[in-house]
Structure 1
């Protein structure tokens, strides 16, 4: 097996640690030099009903927990963050998590076929977008097999989702390896907020039938629960030649959640689910489930302790069984000007893999142990300056130790303006595909043999970010985020000497790629009136990828053009008389040059009617400007085209 490239060609983690203080000092000088004109605003307290009605970019009161592992106001975060709340989810007309993510500025969401999405942020778009960490209630959805997310397995009822928090940029200092370009945390609602019964049914031209049933109840004043079941059938798409793609699929899911507050200082949660997904043509049914328990205790007014344990089990009947056991503990402390978050965790991942006609695994089973320690200190330097320093150290038994530091600085220039900057180091650890994968494909008179590399090293990122938020009036806000990312040790596809008998071209994975990305993301939110809300955003991204001297890779440089250079969107929510709702969204992405995907413009419309407080009826149309169009291609699945779609739905609470 070939050896990986000389590590002297790229910065090591130790060098990244040493560069953090100098970069942070430069960032601080830049922030101090920035002069902003103050504006006056009046902030009012918001009731729970008002929170549910707020748009994602109303910064005054929305709270999130992903960036700092504690609840904090969005306006006080030194990061590019978007929160999709429950009301926005309800009025989007979307029925899946990846489709909802289209609303996030700078998020690349493309559909490869009926059951497969490519979702990324700040570049590196791929069916297996391996630099984006996705969590649900703190449980990772990132699969160690191919380093990505099976989005069609995350078919939870969207009515049970309280919010989706999206951090664009590294989150590795708290969430660890693989939180390289961003973190998505899907937060479900507490059981006290889902009492009673709810039933919904949806039917349409593409998602032919979806049904959901939920019951919430109480065992006592301090113990609430909910149980639910859902199922959906999805029609197939069509290919460019108008033939059927035969990529229809269906999903079934059942789950429960218990929330218990035995004392005013204690909270406990137990939740679990079972799922089954069947795709056509069958690549093996996917089944599995998880069980998660979490306990939190306020030790005092300034100290808090949280522990979480979950077990995740997934089976792909064609070749894979994956089991994950994860323990995470966290201690929070507020003292003087400091707010500390610290903790440790352990993860055991076990995989058993079977060979198929084309793919082999060496070894066929893998067991990985990962230990981690993390700490973060949020320091109030002055009434309007907040410095956050932190880092996470992870140890994997086969790969060693990975330090991932982070420094963030926030300046509240006035009641209406804030400036922030950050410098972060993150790594993406190799997946089983990177290390153990063996593919042999006949190509006419020759074979192509692709091999993983057991000695592959983690991919590394050093990220620089700068952002600005401005809310000149209570009904208008602006957010701008700029970034410059430097990547090293990117995985490349290298050539070996071919074999003469049988004629075989040989390739393997190595760490000879490198590159930079930089971009600008802008979002504007305007509450035109009490009944009309507008949101607009634009994202520009440039990627420059290359390989080091001596590499034989021919794909890395071209893959810099696997993304659209520009994306923009305009969304409107309008409340009409007689309890009617009119919602619209216009999305645009420029062409993807390397994949020959033309520029696309998508128009979605939704009309909703709430004749009673417990009944909601709606009609929605998606991709109304086009019969169908391609959005992305991938090597491992047959692509099809995104069609125009119509949906009718009814939801009843009783």
Structure 2
């Protein structure tokens, strides 16, 4: 009865995949592309391409609250969630702005952790493997002073791509606690913290001559969430949620004294830059602080079998500070407000109408409405047809309206810029159509989900070369609104689970992107090459006797050009298509006091290294040994 295409990556698929990173699991959702950028050690995850290393059109949630970062969208290293704590990932494939707002412009990913009473007692997991990978998780589930709680500690060390400045050593603490205040009232509390060094690449930044000698950044993030809920009556409930998150990353990279950089006497600086003297110039691209406060109220009513609805409102404050990215020593703020409603009405037996809308306004967005209309028809108990139309509006946001990227004096005055925004950018807009068909057979052991779609994106925010006004230097990029791109295609998922011991899941996406401009006359790279024609994944798993499981994963992406990393102008060749095979062999030991799982994982076996995100990102064969124990 969903008004949009939804894929669920459940715990069985998570285990069988053998992945060691949460972001990689999105390879198991139709239409998604994943790539690790060594330029900044950020994993890019996007839907239907059209993205750089920091996709800003996709909402990512953890247990229902956003982890979106105002400056760098979603940093998958900073989720603060251990892979072992994930119960499932729900993926809305397509614009979900009418439900989750501006950030859900093309898709929504909700990472849901283990249920309240699952896995009581102690749990420990350790992973060792290629590229100096050392991962560990320690978890305890219990109760104390009327609270049920889940406490997790995590350790994540790896070197990612050899010879690159992308090592990391991150430590994590997470607490999720529940308390029943009464028969009708409940309280949930979440606390999290993550810190440690991380290498951010940066060896080809235009304004950073340090190259591979860059050091590690110091990361420190924390988050707090409080959610109160009340059951008003049968089928009716309300909730209020407040959360705060803060991310601080310290990047101490410098270009040294300005006089040395310009090769002039120190005394000449005051003549070249009136009001300034010679000083050490910071060049750390990832030296910033980002903070968010969010308050939301929601009311749900499913008491009527024919009409069900949810409504709510919220307010959000984002604030960011970065000398290199924004040219500011103080915080830049963006206050946003929203109101939303979602209704489904049963017109007749087998016919369901869904209407949803989100009204948003912020310091960078005039009042704008995103909406969706969907009609579901069930001609047979095991088959559903869906037709929907969605209009989505994406706030141009804090970063796109305030970018002033480059070298600055300590007071924020610019020296040399490589990127600039004039501010006041109009929002991005999209109109999308979708036809879906869902079928299941043999008591739901066999299921098929097909979706035909067309997405028309307009006013897309892009970086254009050579258009920056004086006094910006030649070659500086300026943010602006482009003409857009149209994406048309067919995607789907076929799953077969004949028994609890077997799993087969096939995901595919066929897509074509068409420019709304002429690349030859504009000097811009074609948008068409940023959406791969074919994206394909296959996961097979079988559990033999004695609790031995063998699983195989296959992943294919046609040639594709990611934005960024010098790709803005025409002439850069797309990355070639690749085929990747992963293999996992696991053995479970069941004893009276504990269950033990031992896994041997091989990634990209039987193939040469392939290019991921950039031509010099060579993903070779990798091996991992993972052991887990659950104490009863």
Report the TM range for the smaller structure's normalisation: 0.7 to 0.9
Structure 2 distance, partners of 1:166, 1:398, is 28
Q: Is the CA contact (8 Å cut-off) linking 2:48 and 2:532 kept in structure 1?
A: no
Q: Secondary structure of 2:546's partner?
A: coil
1:449 to 1:527, Cα distance in 2 relative to 1, 3 A: closer
The answer as to 2:607 corresponding to 1:626 is yes
> What does residue range 141-156 of structure 1 map to in structure 2 within 5 Å?
141-146=67-72, 148-156=73-81
**What is the deviation of 1:501?**
8.8
Given the alignment, which residue of 160, 178, 182 partners 1:263? Answer: 182
1:503 to 1:651, Cα distance in 2 relative to 1, 3 A: closer
Given the alignment, which residue of 399, 402, 419 partners 2:365? Answer: 399
Q: Deviations over 1:374-426 (max 9, x none)?
A: 11111011121110112010111343211111111111111111001111111
**What is the deviation of 1:259?**
1.1
Q: Deviations over 1:324-374 (max 9, x none)?
A: 110111101234621010000010112222x24xx5525852111111111
Q: Secondary structure of 1:291's partner?
A: strand
Q: Deviations over 1:529-548 (max 9, x none)?
A: 45322111211111112349
Given the alignment, which residue of 187, 205, 230 partners 2:154? Answer: 230
The answer as to 2:247 corresponding to 1:321 is no
Q: Is the CA contact (8 Å cut-off) linking 1:512 and 1:548 kept in structure 2?
A: no
> Which residue matches 2:353?
387
**What is the deviation of 1:314?**
0.8
> What does residue range 286-325 of structure 1 map to in structure 2 within 5 Å?
286-318=219-251, 319-325=287-293
Q: Deviations over 1:6-51 (max 9, x none)?
A: xxxxxxxxxxxxxxxxxxxxxxxxxxxxxxxxxxxxxxxxxxxxxx
**What is the deviation of 1:279?**
1.8
Moved more, 620-629 or 577-586: 620-629
Given the alignment, which residue of 66, 77, 82 partners 1:157? Answer: 82
The answer as to 2:451 corresponding to 1:481 is yes
Structure 2 distance, partners of 1:232, 1:168, is 30
> What does residue range 636-651 of structure 1 map to in structure 2 within 5 Å?
640-651=617-628
Q: Secondary structure of 1:273's partner?
A: strand
Q: Deviations over 1:432-469 (max 9, x none)?
A: 4322222359xxxxx87431121111111111111001
> What does residue range 169-184 of structure 1 map to in structure 2 within 5 Å?
169-184=94-109
Structure 2 distance, partners of 1:494, 1:602, is 34
Q: Secondary structure of 1:159's partner?
A: helix
The answer as to 2:405 corresponding to 1:439 is yes
Structure 2 distance, partners of 1:95, 1:642, is 15
Structure 1 distance, partners of 2:451, 2:390, is 15
**What is the deviation of 1:552?**
7.8
**What is the deviation of 1:431?**
3.5
Structure 2 distance, partners of 1:563, 1:547, is 16
**What is the deviation of 1:482?**
1.1
The answer as to 2:48 corresponding to 1:122 is yes
> Which residue matches 2:429?
460
Structure 2 distance, partners of 1:410, 1:501, is 56
**What is the deviation of 1:265?**
2.6
**What is the deviation of 1:640?**
2.4
Aligned length: 560
The answer as to 2:581 corresponding to 1:603 is yes
Moved more, 148-157 or 452-461: 148-157
Given the alignment, which residue of 192, 199, 204 partners 2:124? Answer: 199
Structure 1 distance, partners of 2:588, 2:161, is 32
Moved more, 211-220 or 170-179: 211-220
1:128 to 1:477, Cα distance in 2 relative to 1, 3 A: same
Q: Is the CA contact (8 Å cut-off) linking 2:27 and 2:537 kept in structure 1?
A: no
1:119 to 1:328, Cα distance in 2 relative to 1, 3 A: same
> Which residue matches 1:563?
531
Given the alignment, which residue of 370, 384, 388 partners 2:336? Answer: 370
1:426 to 1:282, Cα distance in 2 relative to 1, 3 A: farther
- Structure 1: gaps (5+ residues): 1-75, 239-243, 442-446
Structure 1 distance, partners of 2:197, 2:464, is 35
Q: Secondary structure of 2:460's partner?
A: strand
1:506 to 1:476, Cα distance in 2 relative to 1, 3 A: closer
The answer as to 2:8 corresponding to 1:80 is no
Q: Secondary structure of 1:630's partner?
A: strand
**What is the deviation of 1:205?**
1.1
Structure 2 distance, partners of 1:196, 1:497, is 60
Structure 1 distance, partners of 2:9, 2:66, is 19
Structure 2 distance, partners of 1:523, 1:309, is 36
Q: Secondary structure of 1:124's partner?
A: coil
The answer as to 2:557 corresponding to 1:589 is yes
**What is the deviation of 1:493?**
3.7
Structure 2 distance, partners of 1:514, 1:499, is 23
The answer as to 2:490 corresponding to 1:490 is no
1:207 to 1:386, Cα distance in 2 relative to 1, 3 A: farther
Q: Is the CA contact (8 Å cut-off) linking 2:364 and 2:401 kept in structure 1?
A: no
Structure 2 distance, partners of 1:395, 1:503, is 35
The answer as to 2:471 corresponding to 1:515 is no
Q: Deviations over 1:542-562 (max 9, x none)?
A: 11123499x98532x523212
Structure 2 distance, partners of 1:538, 1:472, is 20
Q: Is the CA contact (8 Å cut-off) linking 1:86 and 1:159 kept in structure 2?
A: no
Structure 2 distance, partners of 1:530, 1:164, is 20
> Which residue matches 1:136?
62
> Which residue matches 2:541?
573
Q: Is the CA contact (8 Å cut-off) linking 1:416 and 1:470 kept in structure 2?
A: yes
Structure 1 distance, partners of 2:472, 2:84, is 56
Structure 2 distance, partners of 1:210, 1:380, is 49
Given the alignment, which residue of 413, 419, 423 partners 2:389? Answer: 423
**What is the deviation of 1:605?**
0.8
Structure 2 distance, partners of 1:254, 1:628, is 35
Q: Is the CA contact (8 Å cut-off) linking 2:289 and 2:320 kept in structure 1?
A: yes
> Which residue matches 2:210?
none
**What is the deviation of 1:264?**
3.5
> Which residue matches 1:279?
198
Q: Is the CA contact (8 Å cut-off) linking 2:382 and 2:441 kept in structure 1?
A: yes
Question: What RMSD in Å do the two structures reach over aligned CA positions?
Answer: 2.5
Structure 1 distance, partners of 2:132, 2:442, is 41
1:161 to 1:500, Cα distance in 2 relative to 1, 3 A: closer
Q: Is the CA contact (8 Å cut-off) linking 2:529 and 2:574 kept in structure 1?
A: no
Given the alignment, which residue of 357, 361, 365 partners 2:327? Answer: 361
